[in-house]
Chain A
Amino acid sequence: MILVNYIASVVLIVLGLYTVCTKKNLIKVVLGLGIVDYGVNMLIVSLGFNDGGTAPIYQMSDLLNGVAPGFFVDPVPQALTLTSIVIGACVDAMALSLVIMIYRKYKSINADDVRRLHG
């Protein structure tokens, strides 16, 4: 529950949407799609934060010496964000290979040239 993280993730999502809606170069559109993924992942991870908690791993050096780390942060959103990151990377790879195929057929990456159905 950190306020700055929430606002930063909303700003990232809106910036990614702006890039997808406005830019003409197809590669920039794919980059904007990736930025939306990063914003959503940051929102999910920062939802599980407890004030004063540490990372959910039993560090051997601290525990054997008796230095108390306190309590743990929520481990479930961190585990599900791993899956979401991999899915974002896979979507980017497929979108980029489609852009390569579009360039081979139409000889340009400008979104305006690709719109009409050529004969």
Chain B
Amino acid sequence: MKFKEGITEKNVIIKCGADKFLPFALVFGLYIIMFGTVSPGGGFQGGVIVSSAALLLYLGYGYKVASKAIKPEVLRVNEAIGASLYVILGLCGIGFGLNFCRNVFFANGQVGDLISAGTITFMGYAVGYKVLCGVGFLLLLMLALLAPEGAEEEAAAEPAVEEIEAEEAAAEEVPELPLQETVNAVLETEEKEPMEAAAETVAEAVAAAEEKEGAAE
């Protein structure tokens, strides 16, 4: 993936700071999620720390690079996967004959180990993954309103100008019945492929008008 095309010009200090802090945020957040049952922390706290990576990417490189590296559509799907994983782990207690959200896998080692707590550790992982994806998606969603408004307005203005030209060219000819069909065709094709279809129908209308002028003369 080439990122050199969409990078917006930012300050050198901010870019260097984002470079140095990004791996630290990722690894530290992962440590707090993993060791949730042994040291202070847990799923929610670690998930928010990892999701700050999206914000650091935006601060250093702009919105296009951030949305290419961390795709918002993928994050939106994975958030629901994390939530359903928590429910499945809660149903494991029912599979063993006890109530919902019951701790069933514990007593596997000493108190200070990672796996010794049973389903509590795996529930913590599921909640951490869910908060990670959810808060990252929310950040990218709100940051999308800031940067590419100019790019989207430019992209929306180009077919609009050509549509106006096509409508003017179609309206200059007298709206007789055969030309009315071409004008309707121009107005209908605006929804699907405005640029190419409008150009084709305008070319057909111009050719039909030239034939009529030649036949009239």
Contact = CB atoms under 8 A, between A and B. Distances in A.
B39 A86 contact: no
Interface in B93-152: 111-112, 138, 142, 145
Given A82-B44, A86-B44, A93-B138, A57 B39 contact: yes
Interface of chain B, main secondary structure? loop
Interface string A19-49: 0000000000000000000000000000000
B40 interface: yes
Contacts of B112: 60
Interface in A44-77: 55, 57-58, 60
Contacts of B142: 96-97
Interface in A89-109: 93, 96-97, 100
A93 B138 CA distance: 8
B44 A55 contact: no
Contacts of B40: 55, 57
A58 B145 contact: no
A58 B38 CA distance: 8
Nearest first, the 4 A-B pairs at minimum CB distance are A60-B112, A82-B44, A57-B40, A93-B138
Interface of A: 55, 57-58, 60, 82, 86, 93, 96-97, 100
Interface of B: 38-40, 42, 44, 111-112, 138, 142, 145
11 contacts: A55-B40, A57-B39, A57-B40, A58-B111, A60-B38, A60-B112, A82-B44, A93-B138, A96-B142, A97-B142, A100-B145
